[in-house]
Amino acid sequence: DLLLSSLQLSSTSTIIMDYAHKVFGQIVQPDLFMCNTIIRAAAYSSTPSLAFSLYFNQFINISMMRPDSFTFLFLLKACARLSSASTGAQLHGMIVKLGFQSDAFVRNALINLHATCGDLATAHSLFDDTATNDVVARSALIAGYAKRGQLGIARGLFDDETHCHTRDVVSWNIMIAGYVKQGQMDNARQLFDRAPQRDVVSWNTMIAGYAKCGCHARALEMWEEMRNAGGDASPDEATVLSLLSSCADSGALDV
């Protein structure tokens, strides 16, 4: 139980993961929840591929236990972190075979997986099939296009007025980050200013963008604005990390 709960923490060290793996091997009949927990831990670890060997051992070799949608969500996460299109295609096949593709969470994670791996055609057609009114699916797809620099298509999806639930604070952040990644800070800034809500990620995205392109003064200005804006967006570790280089550049680094 102790081990299970330490695996539920957000980050699990390699050592704990290793130990958990050994202990897990001693458990005679782990139930579905236990299997999911260890697969989840593996998926988020530095060796996501371990999730797949655990899956095959527990669900295929050892028992006839049936995986559930959680199991596949974690495998999808592992696969996305591996960024492996071929593993993704196989996993997709398994999911369809077992009938889990109708689960909205699984479907969105699939869209995310293909978008992450660069298989935008597959991601887009999954989206068109059943997910056009789902903001999570849409933003996963937008992120995929933005990642590959296809900002025109990304923007089209973002601006789509023909569907419902097309935007939230996350999708605004994704679109802003897309411009930032291409070094288009003016476009990023324009969107940022138009955004109905900003959270800490919105601010961090802009600050990191200015820092990365060497606009350290602008980065520091944003930080000042962020503090004045107050509200729900208080700075976090990511904010500080981006600011470090800008402070160093301006000579304002007093430690």
Where on the chain is the footprint of RNA (CB under 7 A)? 8, 31-33, 36-37, 40, 68-70, 73, 77, 80, 104-105, 108-109, 112, 135-140, 143, 168-171, 173-174, 177, 200-202, 204-205, 208, 237-238, 241-242
Rounded Cα–Cα distance for residues 84 and 203 (Å): 31
Give me the DSSP letters along 91-110. Answer: HHHHHHHHT-TTSHHHHHHH
DSSP state of 36: H
CA distances from 98 to 72, 94, 102 (A): 10, 6, 10
* Shortest distance (Å) from residue 14 CB to RNA: 19
* Shortest distance (Å) from residue 87 CB to RNA: 16
Beta carbon nearer to RNA, 31 or 160 = 31
Beta carbon nearer to RNA, 45 or 173 = 173
* Shortest distance (Å) from residue 167 CB to RNA: 8
Beta carbon nearer to RNA, 1 or 254 = 1
* Shortest distance (Å) from residue 86 CB to RNA: 20
Beta carbon nearer to RNA, 168 or 221 = 168
* Shortest distance (Å) from residue 249 CB to RNA: 17
Beta carbon nearer to RNA, 87 or 139 = 139
Rounded Cα–Cα distance for residues 43 and 128 (Å): 28
Rounded Cα–Cα distance for residues 27 and 34 (Å): 10
Rounded Cα–Cα distance for residues 109 and 86 (Å): 16
Joined tokens for residue 94: 């398994």
- The residue type found at 121 is A
* Shortest distance (Å) from residue 168 CB to RNA: 5
In sequence order, which residues have a C-beta less than 8 Å from that of residue 80 and are 6 or more positions away? Answer: 88, 109, 112, 113, 116, 117
Taking the CB of residue 126, how many other CB atoms lie within 10 A of it? 23
